[in-house]
A and B are shown apart, each in its own frame.
Chain A
Amino acid sequence: MILFWILGLPLSAALVSALPLGRRVAPLVTLASCVAVLALTVMAALRLVAGEAVTAISNWIAIDGLSALVLLLVGTVGSTAALFSWGYIAREESSRHQRRYYANYNLFVFAMLTVPMLAEPNLVWTGVELTTILSVYLVAFENTNEALEAAWKYSILTIMGGAIALLGFLALYAGSVSPGEEVPYTWHSLIVSAPNVSPGVLETAFALILVGFGAKAGLVPLHTWLPDAHSQAPTPICALLSGIKTTVILYVILRLIPVLDASGKIDVDDWAMVVGLFSAGIAAFLIIQVTDYKRLFAFSTVEHMGVILAAAGIGGAAGHYGAVYQILNHTLTKSFCFFAAGTALLAVDTRQIADVRGLIRTSPAAGAALLFGGIAIAGAPPLAVFLSEFSILRSGISEQHYLATALLAGFVVVAFFGILYHLNRMVFGRPLSVPEGPVPVRLPASCLLTLVIAAAPIIILGFYMPEPLHQLLQLAAGGLSR
């Protein structure tokens, strides 16, 4: 029943948000719905940790450790982004546009919730397609030339990816289910039937899904739309896209790793490691040459997707734990980074790195947030991302993947210096001389409150891991093993 509530709330909120009931109704309903969804996802995760099965419709709508983690993260970022939207979108004068924004926002959250909840892989494909289609309007929301260009590239490339992945899903189904056979078809049944499926079919299906959904998750070389879309969308949407949407897509790719492992004839770990390292490496070097600070964080997302995939490829219990730990930390930290970038954008009204200097003096809140976000996402100790990246590197050494570990460490270091080089100049540089002096901007209270709330778990997880969360991560890591 709890899963039906999780799906029903954002749908109802979308409906209410679309009605002309006053300017405050849509943001309030959206925030209330997202917080309720978060509470419900926490309850579902706790039940799962306690050993209970959480199922709505057997073999169709059910969650396990890995999907519960992703569900929890959708609830978390959905709530913080809804709070940030309150002050950020209030600048939009047209109440009709506001209502459209919130209706689409809720539908987008709904689509992201369906992906981890659905147990039938072909329906998961539909859920993933919905996440793309329902976010196109949000990317184009600002209705500028740049936003429309970004939305176009985003929609065309990722929908094409979806069509390619569809073929992979159909091949997977055909290889696993004999004609006329009336058996449940789920992620779990795929693992069970994998040893009897032709390795050629499995490899072809995996390659098609990796290419198709790799385009949606921003894996190199199909990442070109990502910095555009993730920089041009309104900030709360950037947080959703970069923080959790890419993770939701990667979750589907990760689901296939135990399936191919179970066949016993395919070395899927090598596939994951090579694709992951390639993405992390290219993105780390691209970070150095960015000129827009929102694109900086977008490229960091490409790097993190690569790191997570490489960690899954390293394999072993420690590698899989590192991968899911990185998923958790990436989502929390990246969404914070975009909230910080959005606050800076409100303060300085430019996205160009070269046009922002001495932010800590002109807007202390935005400067401090941007600096903290940069330090956290780059992987500085003792914050959360540092711990997960360190655990991945340690697992690489213990699994004797020395070359891959060395490359990964190198890419992480390049990204670390790339991010901090740009942010250091923005935050501490000498303020640019403007004749009339910097115009003080009053930042919306909801944006500042979001920064405080979103920063808390990043700091806390650097020092303390609550036992239920640790157990959930272990369950999620188990989902990557056959």
Chain B
Amino acid sequence: MTISYALLTSLNGLAVGLFLMSSFALAATRQMQGCQRFYIAQSICLVTSAFFLGLGLHSSDLLAVAALDAIMKPIVIPLLLRRMVPEAIFRRREIDQVLNIPSSLLIALALTLFAFFLSGYLPRAAGSLGRINVPSGLAGLFIGVYALTVRREAVPQLIAIFCIENGALLCGFSIAPTLPLVAEMAFPFDILIIALVIGILTRMTHERVGTTQVGSFATLREGPGK
């Protein structure tokens, strides 16, 4: 059975659309567990898009990367985070954030429009099949940077980092689908090491400082009061 190119393009569009929606949800949610769930949803959309692009472009490398990402991003990394970060942190319902939800959604919308404008300057080697990946990936990246800036908790900041990386990869699958396999394989492992190291740092911070509200860290400043 062969799947038509048009159908693959539509299915990829659906996956990318859901990716973008989960990015918005990540920026808007105020709950720690919600943050993690939306990251998992976003990662599943990323993997699905990589799978459809791999099928459409007959790229076994991309399919291999999709398989590896399917294990790493929605399964291994969330499990690792739950293991590394104390359970009490995950039970928190309200996450401190500099701006409220409506403002965050408006900013996310503005960032998405900017991403669509900027995407015109990037190449699209995947052709019409992955056309939507570039602006949506860029939007995911920008929304991740925004979430990182306004979140004041360690775990949501870490998840924002993963969101940035997911955006870059969604964009990257369309920009450079023929990347050497060794380079493609390096990215999921890089994320795994990041999750491990920052997870340890979060645990150390919680044990030492008694909080993971990293937004309130302000001892390292210049000035006479120091």
Residues of chain A whose beta carbon lies under 8 Å from any beta carbon of chain B: 120, 122-123, 126, 129-130, 133-134, 136-137, 140, 143-146, 148-153, 155-156, 159-160, 163-164, 166-167, 170-171, 173-175, 177, 179-180, 185, 198, 200-201, 203-204, 227-228, 231-232, 286, 289-292, 295, 352
Contact = CB atoms under 8 A, between A and B. Distances in A.
A37 to B, nearest CB: 23
Nearest to B157: A156
Contact of A179 (B138, B168, B178, B226): B178
B79 to A, nearest CB: 19
B201 A140 contact: yes
18 contacts: A123-B182, A129-B194, A130-B193, A133-B194, A143-B204, A145-B219, A155-B201, A156-B161, A163-B141, A163-B161, A163-B165, A167-B171, A170-B172, A179-B125, A198-B123, A286-B222, A292-B226, A352-B226
A202 B190 CA distance: 25
B102 interface: no
A171 B174 CA distance: 10
Given A120-B183, A133-B194, A146-B219, A167 B168 contact: yes
What range describes how many residues of B lie at the interface?
35 or more
Contacts, number: 144
Contact of A136 (B145, B198, B226): B198
Given A173-B179, A174-B123, A291-B226, A133 B197 contact: yes
Contacts of B226: 291-292, 352
B190 A174 contact: no
Contacts of A289: 222
A122 B180 contact: yes
Contacts of B190: 126, 129-130, 133
Contacts of A175: 123
Contacts of B224: 291
Interface of B: 118, 121-125, 138, 141, 144-145, 148, 154, 157-158, 161, 164-165, 167-169, 171-172, 175-180, 182-183, 186-187, 190, 193-194, 197-198, 200-201, 204-205, 208-209, 214, 217, 219-220, 222-224, 226
B201 A148 contact: yes
A185 B178 CA distance: 12
Contact of A143 (B168, B179, B208): B208
Given A163-B164, A174-B123, A291-B224, A149 B175 contact: no
A151 B205 CA distance: 10
B168 A163 contact: yes
Return the 9 tightest CB-CB contacts between A and B, nearest first. A122-B183, A170-B172, A149-B217, A126-B186, A163-B164, A174-B123, A174-B176, A204-B121, A228-B220
Most B CB within 10 A of own CB, among A170, A173, A175, A179:
A170
B26 to A, nearest CB: 15
B180 A170 contact: no
Nearest to B209: A145
